[in-house]
Structure 1
């Protein structure tokens, strides 16, 4: 059955309704993240929550990290982000994310940022036009961009390359799908890029394989007004790429399929979520549609384990069924797919019409972490499929995060801690202290100093770290200058500037 889902649903249009979600503010800086509401009902895996919210107001539009209690840990620069998570580059943990322009056509133009554990940028990966090779991108609005990496994928491989997606506006004969002979559509592209040199290692285009990927087999109908240069039709909608032993596996949302592409670019097979619509037999429990985030484990010549985020729904059919996570055993010899696990909470069902992710946290315990995309919620499930953690960070339907992750992360920022002093009486003040992005300190030492250039100080008191911003009362002060030090035990990790009050 052919269905239509509006590409603009990815944006969640700003100003759609009045905001009701609470946002935090702090005395020590301009951060305004959404307050994360959490509920923990069982044993969870260690880690922080990584999201990139956007929606009906600018507050909190940034790469964000929270702890399990819902306290902010890090807020990056104000920009639209996606795929905020920890990945290894040259065997070192790094913070990675896409940032750029998320468009009304259902994809984006941007760059991938790779930061070390001090938040210094190590690499910035771009995909520009390249006159030397004749590679040029066309856009619906006709405007060029400095980089054409799409928001959907920025996956680092174990060979220190980056897998990214891109979309190219292409004039094409759409009469096979009741469109115009001179219509316009989006070609689905992916690239493997060397992180250290920014050189393209591999490139692939769906339209170069139209015989194996006919337009008629797309589940995305051409809606009225689409199929033009300004509103190109999206037949495939590529949204994830994973490295395989002999090539790559892609997720094509509008094809309801995973696609195996050999290293030479040819297509090996298609694994469809629909009955009798691919190269594999799939059981009823494993049927999926409009999926995201295909990931592979335990690959051998005979088969592999595959997971995916099964949206089920689209903006035009938002209540077709609850969104689930799926885990499969894929038998390559017999071309058979066996469903190993269907992940959902029947007492708290989520209907995600777009975006989303499924992350395997621990293979031994079986814990799974799911980000619900168009619904500003993340959940953790244990090995029995029971929900043990849920967190929300925006009004339903008005705030989204393309994916959501849980990752272990240690960071000591290259910038100093921040402090604010509010006098409350003669020699008495309230001290506010924070260190954006820092994970390793557990207490603050508060000092009085004699002046803005003083090199000596007097210890006043120490207080335990309390969430993102810690508050303390101090008295008997004989100076108007204060300074704080973030410590782990007695070890100083960062010192604030001297503040006059």
Structure 2
């Protein structure tokens, strides 16, 4: 096994918080109580005062073949229970950590934001709903104008609106892989619980996006007994009101004609036969079908994926009981000898132990992106396994983090705010989600049709300040125009500029 090196000096101190079980997806702050709060350690924008996303700080190795070179974006869903922290929601940031698109989802946490292919086109998908250690909600699909083009959720026998936040994968067949939990009766005497007890039974569904029809359904109690769980039954648990989370499914992905299902609370990856909805084999856990040495053993894992070279990758939250850091892990399986061997591990630059959440993404160039789950970090490793990019953000956690190219022109107009200070003035311009803005043009005139250019400045991050050289040159109409790299106006031209609201108490 290759033990990959880390980036010297890129480590950032972090406090470790261990959750008792499951993914820390608790409802984050939001709503009217937060409307006038600008959190510390968060961005604030003159043109969009409603958006206060977390600040992202990036460490990058010199001359590294990283996100910076590849001109990719990071996709994350920051969330936090602390009302003094940055807002929750879906968020796209560039390689330098600057926000590109910010969606304030309020009390509905946003999970698993990423770019996927649907009907031959790139789309954005993310889960929204009410979440705790598991969730009930639906997956939103947006096109490249950020217009909603669909929603997907569970169907019978689970009923609508019960899609869990842990999985949102679109398949080439136009279906979506979903997870859900159902409170079900179970005999818990073998684990110290009541005979007439209750568990959270894990379900895997594959749903046709166009029709909502269920094309695959699997229920964990049919094949996975409660004795496989490595999660201790809490005192007083196993009742209808406090069902035992014995399996905690947290990921499902395609594996040829089957599916790989990650179960956190059994410490096992299950391969399901897609035709018969039965378990082919178990990797890890108490009843592993594979012989595994110390290097291959994982615990509380997430996001098991079969790769093109036949290996399986996963995010190993803690590989041993006394582990001091989580890791990315790549395993080779011999499915005839039924043995597993470790090919590579991807280590953080510090003691970054993530008790919950997390993912591992393989990029087309062979690089690896890791979202560190309950630790507010994401990283990129090159093909040789060296850490080339590390970023941290100032808001709680992100269930997963992805890196991907993305091009979008919002259906909405740019936002702009005119701020006057005596004889000087500036316009602050932004266009939430636009990826092709190269510069901003300030125009003014008697009306929009007759407006002429007053100034032009390069785009600088999410919001750009445009100084007004002479306020006397302004007419009745003042506007901004977003320009692409060729100097062409994109997105329908100008946006109106409103006068600033009075300062409270001023």
1:53 aligns with 78
Q: Is the 8 Å Cα contact of residues 56 and 97 (structure 2) preserved in structure 1?
A: yes
1:410 aligns with 2:407: yes
Which whole-Å CA distance do the structure 1 matches of 2:388 and 2:307 have between them?
A: 24
* Per-residue Cα deviation, 1:51-82 (whole angstroms, up to 9, x for no partner): 11111335421110111111100011423111
**Structure 2 unmatched ranges of 5 or more:** 1-17, 30-37, 500-506
Q: Alignment partner of 2:495: what SS?
A: coil
The Cα of 1:320 is off from its aligned counterpart by 3.2
Q: Is residue 446–residue 460 contact of structure 1 (8 Å, CA) maintained in 2? A: yes
Relative to the length of structure 2, the TM-score reads 0.86
The offset of 1:313, in angstroms, is: 7.2
**Counterpart residue number, 2:340:** 337
> What is residue 35 of structure 2 aligned with on the other side?
none
SS in 1 for 2:97: coil
**How far is 1:21 from its partner?**
5.5
Counterpart among 98, 113, 120 of residue 71 in structure 1:
98
Correspondence for 2:312: 306
**Structure 1 position 385, deviation (Å):** 1.8
Which residue is equivalent to 1:122? Answer: 149
Query: How far is 1:192 from its partner?
Result: 0.4
Residue 349 (1) aligns with residue 346 (2): no
Partner of 2:373: 373
Give the CA deviation at 1:500. 5.0
| Residues 89, 104 of structure 2: 8 Å contact kept | yes
Is 1:159 equivalent to 2:170 in the alignment? Answer: no
Summarize deviations over 1:207-232 as a string: whole Å, max 9, x none: 122xxx22112101101132122221
Match of 2:254 among 225, 243, 265: 243
Residue 140 of structure 1 corresponds to none
Quote the residue 2:60 is aligned against.
40
CA distance in 2, matches of 1:390, 1:380: 7
Secondary structure, aligned partner of 1:496: strand
Q: C-alpha separation between the residues in 1 aligned to 2:25 and 2:169? A: 22
**What secondary structure is seen at the aligned counterpart in 1 of 2:79?**
strand
1:287 to 278, 285, 297: 297
State the alpha-carbon separation in 2 of the partners of residues 5 and 64 from structure 1. 25
Whole-angstrom distance in 2 between the partners of 1:115 and 1:9: 25
1:436 lines up with 2:450 in the alignment: no
Say if 1:5 and 1:432 are closer, same or farther in 2 by CA, change over 3 A. closer
| 3-state SS in 2 of match to 1:170 | strand
Would you say 1:393 and 2:389 are equivalent positions? Answer: no
- Counterparts of 1:267 and 1:117, CA distance in 2: 38
Give the direction of change, closer, same or farther, for the CA distance of 1:110–1:13 in structure 2 (3 Å limit): closer
Shift of 1:5: 5.9
The corresponding residue for 1:142 is none
Distance 1:35 1:181 in 2: 50
TM-score, normalising length from structure 1?
A: 0.87
Following the alignment from structure 1 to structure 2, what is the Cα–Cα distance between the partners of residues 8 and 217? Answer: 16
1:113 equivalent among 140, 150, 156: 140
CA change 1:111–1:322 in 2 (3 A) is same
Shift of 1:163: 0.1
Q: Which runs of 4+ in 1 moved over 6 A?
A: none
2:452 to 446, 452, 458: 458
User: Residues 136 and 371 of structure 1: is their aligned pair in 2 closer, same or farther, counting only changes over 3 Å?
Assistant: closer
Q: Deviations over 1:433-480 (max 9, x none)?
A: 0000000111111101214xx421111121101000000111222424
Q: 1:361 — aligned with what?
A: 363
Taking the aligned partners of 2:201 and 2:23, their CA distance within structure 1 comes to 19
Q: CA shift at 1:369, angstroms?
A: 0.6
Report the Cα offset of residue 176 of structure 1: 1.2
CA distance in 2, matches of 1:218, 1:478: 70
1:177 aligns with 2:183: no
| 2:429 and 2:463 in contact (8 A); partners too | yes
Structure 2: how far apart are the matches of 1:169 and 1:69? 44
Residue aligning to 1:321:
324
Q: CA deviation at 1:12?
A: 5.6
Whole-angstrom CA distance in 1 between matches of 2:281 and 2:23: 30
What residue number does 1:141 align with? none
The Cα offsets for residues 135-192 of structure 1, whole Å up to 9 and x where unpaired, read as 256xxxxxxxx50000001111111110010000112111111100111110010100
